[in-house]
Structure formats: structure tokens, C-alpha cells
Structure 1
Amino acid sequence: MSEALTTTAPPHAPLTSLMLPVMLMLIFVYFFGGAIDTGIPHTAYVTYVVPGVLLLCAGFGAATTAVAVSEDMKGGIIDRFRTLDIGGAAILAGHVGASTARSLVSTALVLGIALLIGFRPTATATGWLLALAVLIAYLVALSWLSAAIGLLARTPEAAGGFTFLMLFLPYPSSAFVPVDSMPAWLHGFAEHQPVTPAIESLRGLLLDQPVGNSPWIALTWAAGILLTAVVLSGVLFRVRTR
């Protein structure tokens, strides 16, 4: 059933969500890495940047959900599902599940390429599990938020435009450069937006470094986004299918 619920996704979407994070990682490492001071002694730039790219995977994977949901609403497939007594939650959960699976495959691909070009994580088994928990929490939260955007948008093109914010958030964060290197007026946003604690958690856990309360802050953000998105999706689905 989950495959049936996601057949309207653009055919190029899986390839884009898989390959684009890898290409961005290679660009940052080989084009800009030599000129960036991470402020962490004896740490190669690839090691610094990989956690941020993992969050980019979540954003790219989630962005395709908005377009797929919008296309379903526009194409009338929702009406056919409703005649089979399939609820909105099941339909959207199919999209979210597919998005999460795509993003996890993209994450594995990014990690594999990163290991080939010099990424050397030193995480313990517990650290890997905690990092995976934080990553999956963000994947699910962003996918549900993207589903809500897909319901809100009236066209697939508008849905793709709305998801620009998800793709943009990792940039004004600690994903690619330390927050301290940014202009002072940007510090407040970069330090307190939802992506930064997730990246700091992943970086600390994968490198077996102290993470403080970053994982708890990251999970709190993810839970808040998820709760808001699920409630909003339910309301929007009822409005769109009256």
C-alpha cells in the first residue's frame, strides 16, 4: 500500500535526494574546505562537514514529500483512496515513510562516500545509536511538515517553493562553518534555530566528544515540529477533501 500511496512522486526525485547531498559534500570539501577554519584542532574539514550534510539529506528527502502530496491532491487519487475507506493519516503516513526511507538511503550513501574521502568517526556503539535516533527524529518531523506544506500548496510548483526553507536552514547554522565566524547579527538565529542543535549533536556523538544538552534540545525541536505538523496536516486534509 505504501508504494501505491507514493506513485505520484516525480521520477527524478529519488535520484535528486540521493545524489545532491553527495555532490554538495564533495563541493564543500574540495572547493572550500581548504579555506575554512573549523576552530577544532587536528580535525579535517570533511569530518566537520559530514553532520551538516546528513541534515541536508533530511531536507532534500522531505522536500519531495510536499510535491508528491500536492500532486496527489491535484490528481484526484485522494478521492479514489477515500472510496476505499482509507483515512488521511494513512495516506500521509505512506508518504512520510517513503520519504524517511529515501533519506536513510541517502544518508548511508553520504556516509559511505565520506569514509572514502577521509571521514573518520570515533563514535561508540551508544553514540551511533543516539546519533541515529536524532537523525530519524528529524527525518520524520521534517517529512510530516513537508506533507502539511503539500496540503497547503495548491500546485506542486508552489509546494516545491515552500520547501525552500527546509533546504536553506542548514546554511545559517554550524553545518559548514562555526557560528562564531558569522556576522554578529546572525549569531542569535544560527545558534537557536532547530537545525543547529541537531548538527552539534551528530558531530559530537560521531566524534565521541561532549555534547552537553544538545541532543535533548534537538529532540525537543523535532517533537515540536512533528506535533505541529501532524495536527496541521489533519486539519488541512479535512479542509482540502470536503
Structure 2
Amino acid sequence: MSPRDIAAAGEGDSRPVALVTGAAGGLGGCIAARLYDRGHRVALTDLDAEAAAKAAEALDPTGENALGLALDVRDKDAFVRVRDELVARWGVVHVLVNNAGHSKIEALMDITPESFSAVVDTNLNGTFYGCQVFGQYFAERGFGRIVNIASLAGQNGGTATGAHYAAAKGGVATLTKVFARDLGSRGVTVNAISPGPQDLPVVRRTVDPEKLAQTEAMIPVGRLGRPEFIADVAVLLSAAHADTVTGACWDVNGGLYMR
């Protein structure tokens, strides 16, 4: 988003403001870094406040254009507090990336009600609360971009993740359409990115190496995804001139799922 784009959207600041959830590391950290590199002021939020602060400091030691904040996406009021803090600090927010997620590899019949609720609470409820709080805020201003991180698991039932994760991510794709339809006439776009298995430390740490190798062998392009490209897609969907793309789910899965 260029200064000219921002002016067209009714803003006078030279740097648009983006909030990324689950941004202390992994894919969220990659997305936050790419938004920062592309000229955004970025709030990196995470359940781990200390890790979020360190990640923000690594991007911008001055703290002028990157900020780390605690955010529990399971708490709608927490989104309100962070929104208000960012508005007080930078005057406005333009972009929300709902990235925070929680997965747990469990056999289908071994998933307890508590485990199912915990995974859904973060992945689905957290996305819903973020879309609600910032969707209303953006609609009142007449401009906003929401990017939800869905998953291939929500499209094909999952390969290396649990049923609770797959169900929640399928819900994220549906919520994206619901909010896109409701907010489209008010200058707010809502889109999803649906990554396949990514080459991330958390993936290599949590997925059995043999299972991961089998998964990688099934990918038509022959390799795990690049988080940097997911970040590029998030930046593109966040642009002011992406105003006719809404309710879409952009697949980035190496050909594992084609439609």
C-alpha cells in the first residue's frame, strides 16, 4: 500500500497500520515482517507478550513502527483493548491478519471434548472475534482489510493435523465468506489464505519425521511451502487497490488440493 493508496482510502499517514495475531514467530512472524518491510506499521500480537515484544524489537529497535502486544484471541474484549491501544498510539488501523492458531495431533476417536473446544476456541472463535471487532471498526471508517489464515486441512479434512483443527479451519473459510458479504458494501474486504504444509520449525518439531516425509512426497511440486510466499499473498490482499477481491480463499498448497 503506497502513500497514494492511503490517500485514496481517506488517510493522511505515510504508513498504513497492520495488526497480526500469533506473530511472535512462525508464519505470523513472517507475515508481520513482510508487512513491515513493505512499509506498514505493524503490531505483533501473541499470547506470549514477551516473545511478541522481542519479535517487534527485532524488526524495529526504536519501537516507532513495530510494537509487540499481548493478545489472547479467545477473549473478544482483548481485541477491543488492542484496537483502542493502536488507535491511541498510531491514530488508525487499516489491516487485520487473523493468524493465531493452535493444533494438536490426536487420533480422531481420542479427541476429548476439552481438547476439541480448546483447538476450536483459538482457531475459529478467535478469528470470529477479530473479524467482529475490527470489521465493525473498519466499516465505520469506510475502509479495511481482513486476511484470515485458513488451512488445507479445512478443505481436505487434514493430513497431519487433528480433526478439531481441520473442522475449525473449515469454519474459518466459511466465516470469511460471511463477513465478506456483510462488509463488502462498506469498503471492507475479507479474504482467506489456505496454506498447505509449510516449511516451518513448528511443523518439523510437531510432525513425526516419517509422516512429514510421506506428506512431502505426496505434494505434486515435491516440497513443503514457503512461508515467505504466504506473507506476500497477505500483503497483496491487504493493499488498498485489492478492493474487488473479497470472500476469496487463495490456495497455496503445492497442488495437494486442486479445484
Q: Is the structural similarity TM-score above 0.5? A: no
Larger gyration radius, structure 1 or structure 2: 1
Flag the structure with higher helix content.
1
TM-score (norm 1): 0.32
TM-score (norm 2): 0.31
Q: Which of structures 1 and 2 has the larger relative contact order (alpha carbons within 8 angstroms, sep 6+)? A: 1
